[in-house]
Amino acid sequence: MARIHKRKKDEEFEIPVNIFDFDTLINLTIKNASKLKEYFRLNLIYYQLISGKGLEFDKIKEYVPGDDTRRIDWKIYARTNQLYIRHYKEERNFDIVIILDVSNSMLLGTNEYTKNEFASLIAGTLAFAATEAGDNIGGGLFSDKVDLLLDPEPEFYNLLNSMAKKENYGGKKNWPKLTKRILSTYSSDSIIFIISDFLNTDIHKFLPELSTGFAKVYGIMVRDPIDNKLPKGVGKVYLKDPETKEVVVTDLDVLREEYELLNRREIEKMKDLFHSYDQLFFHLETGTEFAIEFVKAMGDERVIIS
């Protein structure tokens, strides 16, 4: 939970960053990943099937109830009137690259988690689920002050360890620099997850290049409730931009409806842009059930995670 720090005279206000130590983060990660890992693997295998990458044809076998109907060989059916399926064996595992935005705008937290905390929990959950599925995990933390990208490996501890260090947070977003670093660090058949609030972000500065440079790019937007909707009855307040440090006075009650409308439009526009590049994007507020929302975003709301 984000803590409120009392400001002493002439002392810089201390902003909460991420209060998860390594042990806490790994325990929460394993708890959440148990809900996700099997579905995570199913969807990556499905991606292999529809993309033609990562699988090697093995044999034709007779269809039995319960087999994946997407593997039915309809050409054989047309000739024989018998159902057969194509059976594959995996050539290789994936390189899963998880990029965590650690810029100043991710410091906000008005409920159980700050955005940094929730984003690190999502990153850890994905990393654990991927390694349990046999894939390699790479990626790391990024801002204009923090540039920490790890090579893909079969363990996720180094990634979680980097997320548990408070000194690895802060700075501004720098999408062009991040794009160059990712393209120069990871292989083209990697799957990229970018976890960010995407505030003040021009997607055209990175999505076109990443979409053509990698097998798949997933945008996971993490927002605090107040990022999208202002509270009622607050009146006039002082607001400080975490990046520019500019301070303004504004009446939140006057701005509330317009603020909410603009944010809804921004999220929908971002989602549409990701989809226009044939990539996946979804939006989460801190504290929501990540595993269930991930399943829904992958297009199968019928799956129940207990």
Domains of the chain (ranges, CATH numbers): 22-45+93-223+280-297 (3.40.50.410), 55-90 (no CATH)
Looking up tokens 């689920």, which residue turns up?
129
Verdict on whether the full-model pTM lies above 0.75: no
Report the distance separating Cα 174 and Cα 44, nearest Å.
Answer: 29
With b for 16 or more beta-carbon neighbours within 10 A and e for fewer, the 100-124 pattern comes to: bbbbbbbbbbeeebbbbbbbbbbbb
Looking up tokens 């990022």, which residue turns up?
227
Write the pLDDT tens digit of every residue in 105-127.
998 888 888 899 999 989 988 88
Write the pLDDT tens digit of every residue in 210-240.
999 998 899 999 999 888 887 777 777 667 7
pLDDT of 30 above 60: yes
Residue 40 confidence (pLDDT): 63
Give helix 37-51 / helix 115-132 axis angle, nearest 10°: 70
pLDDT of 24 above 80: yes
pLDDT of 305 above 70: no
Residue 5 confidence (pLDDT): 36
pLDDT of 90 above 70: no
